[in-house]
Amino acid sequence: MLIQLIGLSHKTASVEIRERLHIEEAKLPSALQRIHSTVPEAMIFSTCNRFEILARVDELDGAAERMSGLISEIREIPQQDFEPLLYTYTGPEAVRHVFRVASSLDSMVIGEPQILGQMKQFFAIAQHEKTIAYTLHAIMERAFMVAKKVRSETLIAGSAVSVSSVAVELASKIFDKLEDKTALVIGAGEMSVLAIQHLQSHGVKSILVTNRTPQKAAELAEQINGRAVPFEDLSTCMAESDIVISSTGSPTFILKKDHAQKAMSSRRNRPMFFVDIAVPRDIDPQINEIDNVFLYDIDDLQSVVEKNRQQRQKEAERAEEIITRESELFWSRLKSMDIAPTIREIQARIEQLRKHEIELTLKKMGALSDSQKKALDELAFSLTNKMLQQSYSELRQLANQPDGLEKIELIRKLFRL
């Protein structure tokens, strides 16, 4: 059982690289099947802040390079553009990393709850596509349990924030107060809902909502006592908005420099604050060139995130202890569980060979009494059993050795299991 994780995140790659690797949900099944055609089990985690592949592989030699090549093919991006930014975790380190991600210890905002829901969604897609079996299923189920344990036994989520809340916090630093400001939220997804919740918690009362699907905008506006506006009137709506937060699934920019210039002209140059929390980005970065226009994307939120991270560091340290303990226990259990089926399969394989050879021998020896046949059968059984008992003992001990699983995989190949 060889487990490997390869990927990159906001810690190793810029938003430009992450958005090039990002796979939208509708295309995940085909990408999963492409990877699954080369490995026994595979999962993909593709969010705005990370792109990772978790897999059970047949052999470790060259596995990371092959996976990198697959990423290049699937996303049509030259390997040299992202390969230096990749990290690779194997075996227990891969399990620990998955536990940390699920528990939001590897997030841009430590303690944010969105990543757990996203991982459950990726897990469901992999289950539906049948690209995972027992091993990755066990890892993910345990990761969800560990994440719940971390949240219940620490205060890491006691004042949990998300990227949306950080965006609103940053807006409060741009303007003296937010109570008299008008906000335009583009998109009606989960991130937009969260952004609206944080805007309202900071006192913003006038909120406009727009979306390419008018019904979704209307439903969200009604839910939050806001006002739905036509997507086609985006430029006009911008003119009355002090804060613009965009989170859509558009593959291209929906707000460009000329849109902001027209809005600023109508506003008589009063400041505007833009937050782009979409991947790929929704807002052309060139609008930052306009006077009194302030644009921040996901990477720009890092300074505010760092402040929150420092406040939560003590709780994060406690969470790390839980994850280390849980990942070690799980890996030990996983290794032990991997030994048992191997031993059973070897026993079945040897028994099959023993019976086959007994049948051939009896045919050559001619007529024998039932007691003679039984004696011959018992002799063969005794010989194979005694020869293999020591081997089984060695196999059980392998589970606790650092390279035990690699050796067991080799034994499985030797026995053609």
- 255-277 pLDDT, tens digit per residue, is 999 999 999 999 988 999 999 98
Amino acid residing at 31: A
Kindly tell me the sign of the dihedral angle through the C-alpha atoms of 291, 226, 231, 283: positive
pLDDT at 417: 65
Bridge partners of 210, per DSSP, are 186
Q: Which of 68, 160, 63, 59 is nearest to 111 (CA)?
A: 160
Residue 390 pLDDT class (50, 70, 90 cuts): low
Separation between Cα atoms, residue 292 and residue 21, nearest integer Å: 33
Is 237 considered catalytic here? no
308-322: average pLDDT: 84
Q: Which one has a higher pLDDT value, 314 or 138?
A: 138
Chain segment 89-108, per-residue pLDDT in tens = 999 999 999 999 999 999 98
174 band by pLDDT with thresholds 50, 70 and 90: confident
Q: Give percent of the chain above pLDDT 90.
A: 57
Two tokens, residue 118: 């996203």
Question: Given 1, 8, 48, 195, which residue is catalytic?
Answer: 48
Using CA atoms, how far apart are residues 241 and 270, in angstroms rounded to an integer?
10
pLDDT in tens, 392-403: 666 666 666 666
Question: What is the C-alpha separation between 323 and 314, in angstroms, rounded?
Answer: 15
Domains by residue range for the chain, with CATH: 2-159 (3.30.460.30), 163-300 (3.40.50.720)
pLDDT tens-digit map of 183-217: 999 999 888 888 898 899 889 999 999 999 999 99
How far, rounded to the nearest angstrom, does the alpha carbon of residue 57 sit from its chain's CA centroid?
Answer: 18
Q: What percent of the chain has pLDDT over 70?
A: 91
Q: Does the pLDDT value for residue 155 go beyond 90?
A: no
Ordered strands of the 272-276 beta sheet:
227-228, 206-210, 182-186, 243-246, 272-276, 293-297
Question: Over 60: is that where the pLDDT of 160 sits?
Answer: no
Element housing 266 (H / E): helix 257-266
Please tell me the predicted confidence (pLDDT) of residue 406.
Answer: 67
Q: How confident is the model at residue 12 (pLDDT cuts 50, 70, 90)?
A: very high
pLDDT the model gives residue 108: 84
Instruction: Report, as an integer, the average pLDDT of 331-351.
Output: 75
Average pLDDT, the chain: 87
Interacting residues of 140 by C-beta distance below 8 A, sequence separation 6+:
43, 98, 119, 123, 132
CB 166 within 8 A of CB 245: no
Per residue in 343-369, pLDDT (tens digit) is 777 778 788 888 888 888 888 887 888
Helices (H), 3-113: 15-21, 28-36, 63-75, 92-102
Long-range contacts (CB closer than 8 Å, 24 or more residues apart) made by 286-289:
286/256, 286/257, 287/255, 287/256, 287/257, 287/259, 287/260, 289/257
Judge whether 235 and 263 are in contact, CB under 8 Å: yes
pTM of this structure: 0.60
Residue 336: per-residue pLDDT: 67
Residue 373 has pLDDT above 70, yes or no: yes
Confidence band of 43 (pLDDT split at 50, 70, 90): very high
